[in-house]
Amino acid sequence: MKNSMPAAIPKTVDDYLAGVPEPARTTLNKVRAIIRSAIPAAATEVISYRIPAFKYKRPFIGYAAFSDHCSLFVFSGTLLESFQEELKPYSTSKGGIHFPLDKPLPATLIKKLAKARLALSE
């Protein structure tokens, strides 16, 4: 599973996204906007584990592009268990959800995951 980002570690989320080829860049920008709309304004964007993430006290949700898919990371395997039914159409890993390069997860699902993950980190 090869990450599509440049070899140099990006310093900002915008740097990361600038290095992501289309259609993944557009997809990740949509994911970014959906997350932003669901979380407190005080949450900041950071690079964590070499990927874009949102931080509220600590990083709680991130996203990335790979050569054959995009991923949303909730940094919690137990959280994904509570969304099992909604995640059936997607491949998942311990703390991440994989989705097509050209099609973000449904906005309602992203918002639910972001809010649930934020609540866990409170």
- The mean per-residue pLDDT over the stretch 47-65 comes to 94
Q: Is the pTM of this model over 0.85?
A: yes
* Domain covering 13-121, topology: Aspartate Aminotransferase, domain 1 (3.90.1150)
What pLDDT, in 10s, does the model give residues 76-119? 878 999 999 999 999 998 889 999 999 999 999 999 999 999 99
Tokens of 8: 């140099």
More confident residue, 73 or 4: 73
What pLDDT, in 10s, does the model give residues 60-70? 999 999 999 99
In terms of Cα–Cα distance, which of 90, 109, 96, 104 is closest to 29?
Answer: 104
Percent of the chain at pLDDT > 70 equals 94
All residues at 6 or more sequence positions from 96 whose CB lies less than 8 Å from its CB, including other chains? 71, 72, 73, 74
**How many degrees, rounded to 5, is the angle at CA 25 between CA 64 and CA 71?**
25
Question: What is the predicted pLDDT for the residue at 7?
Answer: 61
All residues at 6 or more sequence positions from 104 whose CB lies less than 8 Å from its CB, including other chains? 27, 28, 30, 31, 34, 70, 110
